[in-house]
Chains A and B, each alone.
Chain A
């Protein structure tokens, strides 16, 4: 049982929760995720750790209400308890001074991206962040991203904020004007797919973080399997980050729909 300490609404469907989890707060690294069960009859759902405070013993989760379980979690209030939180899971992000790193995030993908932006900055990279969403209200964590980025480019589909256009255009504009050594992309599968196609064109190494369906998160079930470079890999133990140029996104998108009617 893990107590919810704080809650903040980022947008209509996106909520930030600070959750009591001292052991996880102490051992997590950027890129790690947790599995959460909201109540005794709940399902196991993976959520990336957006931030952690080892002193307070808490972790920050950013949850988008997409299904019944995430909706239930978003409706929870401080003082209530999540039934189970286990982690940190997955391999941490490989952080290194590459030179210039473009971090592109779409929708709630910005939440897991934030600790990577920060870590990339801390080791001396020049960090250009590209945040994308459908419209202005859906851009989250902008202030925090600005704090650790040398430059922030905002893209909205409807032009209500920043530049009108897609995330790929934002990423490409940076690649075209200056040498980029690494791109990190986190967001909906379709977005990562197109970012990968864009960066492949320019031959820029690209890392993506995959959010497949999971059950245990410990390598036991294979629900999270994806094809990377023609080989089967488990996102929960081999990932969640992979070379975006080698991921079969089309297959992954079909598998994400496994339980949609």
Chain B
């Protein structure tokens, strides 16, 4: 089915070109990156991408395994050796085409997937006690090379319209991948987005230095060329109700409204001024451009910042705070570094950028000054106890070990809950106890014409899973609408 089968003649030849020994003796590529001292002064992307020669060499490390385990580690089963071998033979366009078979947003995923826990963790090299093939770097290389190519002579294959139209609520990775898949099948697709920018978390959450907006915009423009309509400033359930969508002639709705609602810890003093969610902090800076000349949105630019949490959002917040000029940035996490859910690379980058890691610490109270501004946090030292249901060793407080630390800004990054706007505005839409939309194996909700996917179904998850849901839901909805 794939456009790059393992038994293709060129792949046979390529496998013979080098011995396994030769391949495994090549060291893993090192991602060229901006110097830490420089990068904290600007918002430029830290990872610069592999050069052509580095990418081809890295691709030649891949053994093109007969039973490639990397693919099983990928949540959407990208044909990994298929695209890598195309890089090795310098057919970059074909490499990108293999990626596009399964992933709507390879340039994004190559940058933000936790590869060390997915594909790369399953690579055969790990068994040989060697560093795995840099699948993420190569994915990014193939996608970027394709995006930089001159597309003006490409023949755009416009799908034949099938006369049916579908609506999408939310323009994050789930919504965008659904839209692309449905447009290719000939549907008239409109994506409605509550915010004034298209892109979901990719725009308002993940910072420019990790995922430049231009990378996301290329994908959005590609969808627009396919005929997908994007409507910003429009909230499904508020601006347009579900009944109204039906009245407008939509045959189906895909809900991809994300897990927007930030959680707080409920500890004393959390309502003080200059304590905010990471969503608020990152939105002010990434979406509203707070701190940039001419922009009206304010954000506190202060000296001592504490970020509570250990996920990607926490890492993005500490690194952003450094770039906003804070000299002392602390990451407060209640477990140890081993348990941190953040991508390994973000942890490494944050440390290089001078972030202090206060692992095994948990805030228990915030103290304010006479103006209601936070001035200090009381942190409780923790130690690891017995493993809990999730298998992670749960942190327990060390009695009496509470310390007061001065801070000017606290960013709370302890997770998100599903956005309640849509569930609360559509009667008969079943939700779980956690507030996520309930779907069956086909991503279909309790209302047959409504499908859902991404974080609104999973709670806070990942870009690749959201994207996979979008594809899956598109296939299911197409099946339903074709059977009708």
Q: How far is the CA of A255 from the CA of B262 in the complex (A)?
A: 18
- Interface presence of A254 (CB below 8 A): yes
Report yes or no: A219 in contact with B420, Cβ–Cβ below 8 A: yes
Report yes or no: A220 in contact with B284, Cβ–Cβ below 8 A: no
A11, chain B: closest CB distance, angstroms = 24
A70, chain B: closest CB distance, angstroms = 11
Report yes or no: A218 in contact with B234, Cβ–Cβ below 8 A: no
B455, chain A: closest CB distance, angstroms = 12
Taking CB atoms, residues of chain B closer than 8 Å to A43 are 288, 295-298
Report yes or no: A221 in contact with B280, Cβ–Cβ below 8 A: yes
- Interface presence of A191 (CB below 8 A): no
Report yes or no: B298 in contact with A219, Cβ–Cβ below 8 A: no
Report yes or no: A41 in contact with B234, Cβ–Cβ below 8 A: no
- Interface presence of A153 (CB below 8 A): no
Q: Which of B232, B244, B274, B283 has the most CB of A within 10 A?
A: B283
- Interface presence of A178 (CB below 8 A): no
Which listed residue (B241, B271, B283, B295) contacts A221, Cβ 8 A?
B283
Report yes or no: A254 in contact with B277, Cβ–Cβ below 8 A: no
Q: Which of B232, B276, B277, B280 has the most CB of A within 10 A?
A: B280
B49, chain A: closest CB distance, angstroms = 30
Report yes or no: A27 in contact with B233, Cβ–Cβ below 8 A: no
Q: How far is the CA of A87 from the CA of B236 in the complex (A)?
A: 10
Interface string of A216-234 (1 = CB under 8 A from B): 1011111101110000101
Report yes or no: B260 in contact with A215, Cβ–Cβ below 8 A: no
- Interface presence of A177 (CB below 8 A): no
B217, chain A: closest CB distance, angstroms = 16
Chain A interface size, as a band, is: 35 or more
Report yes or no: A87 in contact with B239, Cβ–Cβ below 8 A: yes
Residues of B247-302 at the interface with A, using a CB-CB cut-off of 8 Å, are: 260-262, 264, 266, 270-274, 276-277, 279-280, 283-284, 288-289, 294-298
Taking CB atoms, residues of chain A closer than 8 Å to B280 are 215, 221-223
- Interface presence of A5 (CB below 8 A): no
Q: Which residue of A lies closest to B244 (CB)?
A: A27
Taking CB atoms, residues of chain B closer than 8 Å to A219 are 260-261, 419-421
Q: How far is the CA of A186 from the CA of B238 in the complex (A)?
A: 23
- Interface presence of A176 (CB below 8 A): no
Taking CB atoms, residues of chain B closer than 8 Å to A143 are none
- Interface presence of B240 (CB below 8 A): yes
Report yes or no: B372 in contact with A24, Cβ–Cβ below 8 A: no
B251, chain A: closest CB distance, angstroms = 21
Q: How many residues of B contact A (CB 8 A)?
A: 41
Taking CB atoms, residues of chain A closer than 8 Å to B204 are 220
Assuming the contacts A220-B261, A220-B279, asked whether A86 and B194 have C-beta atoms less than 8 A apart, the reply is yes
Report yes or no: A23 in contact with B234, Cβ–Cβ below 8 A: yes
Assuming the contacts A44-B297, A219-B261, asked whether A27 and B194 have C-beta atoms less than 8 A apart, the reply is no
Which listed residue (A27, A216, A257) contacts B241, Cβ 8 A?
A27
Report yes or no: B194 in contact with A23, Cβ–Cβ below 8 A: no
Residues of B62-112 at the interface with A, using a CB-CB cut-off of 8 Å, are: none
Taking CB atoms, residues of chain A closer than 8 Å to B297 are 43-44, 215
Q: Which residue of B lies closest to A83 (CB)?
A: B196
Q: Which residue of A lies closest to B272 (CB)?
A: A254
Q: How far is the CA of A42 from the CA of B288 in the complex (A)?
A: 8
Taking CB atoms, residues of chain B closer than 8 Å to A255 are 271, 273, 372
Taking CB atoms, residues of chain B closer than 8 Å to A218 are 194-195, 235, 260, 419, 421
Interface string of A221-261 (1 = CB under 8 A from B): 11101110000101001000000000000010011011100
Report yes or no: B372 in contact with A216, Cβ–Cβ below 8 A: no
Interface string of A152-180 (1 = CB under 8 A from B): 00000000000000000000000000000
Assuming the contacts A69-B296, A219-B261, asked whether A237 and B239 have C-beta atoms less than 8 A apart, the reply is no
Q: How far is the CA of A27 from the CA of B277 in the complex (A)?
A: 30
- Interface presence of B152 (CB below 8 A): no
Q: Which residue of A lies closest to B288 (CB)?
A: A43
Which listed residue (B233, B266, B294) contacts A232, Cβ 8 A?
B266
Interface string of B188-208 (1 = CB under 8 A from A): 000000111000000010000
Taking CB atoms, residues of chain A closer than 8 Å to B22 are none
Taking CB atoms, residues of chain B closer than 8 Å to A226 are 271
Assuming the contacts A85-B233, A222-B280, A225-B271, asked whether A41 and B421 have C-beta atoms less than 8 A apart, the reply is no
Taking CB atoms, residues of chain A closer than 8 Å to B235 are 86-87, 89, 218
Which listed residue (A86, A89, A216) contacts B283, Cβ 8 A?
A216
Q: Which of A24, A27, A87, A218 has the most CB of B within 10 A?
A: A218
Report yes or no: A227 in contact with B271, Cβ–Cβ below 8 A: yes
Q: Which residue of A lies closest to B293 (CB)?
A: A41
Q: How far is the CA of A68 from the CA of B371 in the complex (A)?
A: 23
Report yes or no: B419 in contact with A220, Cβ–Cβ below 8 A: yes
Q: Which residue of B lies closest to A258 (CB)?
A: B273
Q: How far is the CA of A259 from the CA of B297 in the complex (A)?
A: 10
Report yes or no: A232 in contact with B288, Cβ–Cβ below 8 A: no
- Interface presence of A74 (CB below 8 A): no
Q: How far is the CA of A83 from the CA of B297 in the complex (A)?
A: 15
- Interface presence of A109 (CB below 8 A): no
Which listed residue (A44, A223, A237) contacts B420, Cβ 8 A?
A237
Q: How far is the CA of A258 from the CA of B283 in the complex (A)?
A: 17
Q: Which of A69, A222, A259 has the most CB of B within 10 A?
A: A222
Which listed residue (A89, A251, A259) contacts B298, Cβ 8 A?
A259
Instruction: List the 8 shortest-distance A-B pairs measured between CB atoms, nearest first.
Output: A254-B372, A220-B260, A221-B280, A86-B233, A43-B297, A43-B296, A222-B277, A259-B298
Q: Could you give 7 example pairs across A and B, Cβ below 8 Å?
A: A41-B294, A88-B239, A215-B280, A215-B283, A219-B260, A232-B264, A254-B272
A218-B260, A234-B261 known; 13 other A-B pairs, CB under 8 Å?
A23-B239, A37-B196, A41-B289, A43-B288, A43-B295, A44-B196, A44-B297, A89-B235, A216-B260, A220-B279, A222-B277, A237-B421, A255-B271
Q: Which positions in B face A, CB cutoff 8 Å? A: 194-196, 204, 232-235, 238-241, 244, 260-262, 264, 266, 270-274, 276-277, 279-280, 283-284, 288-289, 294-298, 371-372, 419-421
